[in-house]
Amino acid sequence: MLFKAIDTLRDFIDKEPSYSKGLVPTMGALHNGHLSLIKKAQQDCEIVVVSIFVNPTQFNDPNDLSNYPRTLKTDVKKIEAISKDILIYSPSVEEIYPEGPKSESFNFGSLSKYMEGQYRSGHFNGVGTVLSRLFDLVEPQKAYFGEKDFQQLAIVKKLVHLTGQNVDIIGCKTFREPNGLAKSSRNKLLLEHEKDDAKIIYECLKYVKQNFNYHNIEQLKKKVKSVFKSANNLKLEYFEIADEDDLTPTTSAKKNKKYRAFIAAFCDRVRLIDNIALN
């Protein structure tokens, strides 16, 4: 069921005030990764709301915002194929930002300092702003996010801590194409042969995981850079190995700490990210 305004959505939801609510925030162009988040929310909650909103404040590149795929009709069909009881909330920019699209400023500490925080200035303030607004409007008990955006997941956990919003943040595993490429709405912008080129991203991450105990981080970085240098169509933006808890990149791994490898790369004009747990 599609709702374009919060009042009508709330009228519907508030008929059953004791029901548990799960929110799956999305920017649409839904793929199987999103659908798995929705199915997880269905298992946990009596009411599931999927928000579809391309959030202007999290884009630091106007071209990226205007090129972002918008496929509301097919998204609604995909959701209804799971269940007609799922509530879809697709608000206008004016409803989310009555005073015009503007980000609040959050102190995410080291979580927003590196990687996406470094290369997409203001991005996480935009994500934090839209999510705290959605949490206020929908008042879910749980909200669901994919691990493909691992840094975002950490930021959202910190966000609810900072704002005091009582939402349980649930991370769900990354869904992949058959060739290993992480599912992303941006994959829709790739031609078939580019999807094939982009499999290098996950191949590198798997290589790093397999070799994490045998090579030092400098060697692993060198290897990844050289693979990207000779890869078709791909340009590495960053490769980092970071502490899983504070997301600070490291040059030497310590025992008893958990690490993840993170990649951002352009496949032609499309920016893709992925990550993997190393230990």
Contacts with ligand PAF by CB under 6 A lie at: 25-27, 55, 58, 127, 130-131, 149, 152
Judged by beta carbon, residue 184 or residue 194, the one nearer ligand PAF is: 184
The 10 Å CB-count burial string (b at 16+, else e) for 199-229 is bbbbebbebbbeebeeeebeebbebbeebbe
Judged by beta carbon, residue 128 or residue 208, the one nearer ligand PAF is: 128
Work out the end-to-end distance of the chain between its first and last CA atoms, rounded to an integer number of angstroms: 42
Judged by beta carbon, residue 92 or residue 279, the one nearer ligand PAF is: 92
Minimal distance, residue 126 CB to ligand PAF, in Å: 8
Judged by beta carbon, residue 26 or residue 112, the one nearer ligand PAF is: 26
Q: Determine which one of 31, 34, 123, 193 is catalytic.
A: 34
CB 13 within 8 A of CB 47: yes
CA distance 58 to 188: 20
Minimal distance, residue 40 CB to ligand PAF, in Å: 15
Residues in contact with 100: Cβ distance below 8 Å, sequence separation at least 6, in sequence order:
none
Minimal distance, residue 254 CB to ligand PAF, in Å: 31
Residues in contact with 277: Cβ distance below 8 Å, sequence separation at least 6, in sequence order:
209, 244, 258, 259, 260
Judged by beta carbon, residue 171 or residue 215, the one nearer ligand PAF is: 171
CB 248 within 8 A of CB 114: yes
The length of the chain, given as a count of residues: 279
The 10 Å CB-count burial string (b at 16+, else e) for 111-148 is bbebbbbeebebbbbbbbbbbbbbbebbbbbbbbbbbb
Minimal distance, residue 58 CB to ligand PAF, in Å: 6
123 is catalytic: no
Neighbours of 44 (CB within 10 A): 14
Minimal distance, residue 18 CB to ligand PAF, in Å: 27
CA distance 124 to 113: 10
User: What are the strands, taking DSSP E only, across 175-258?
Assistant: 234-243
Which residues are part of the catalytic machinery?
34
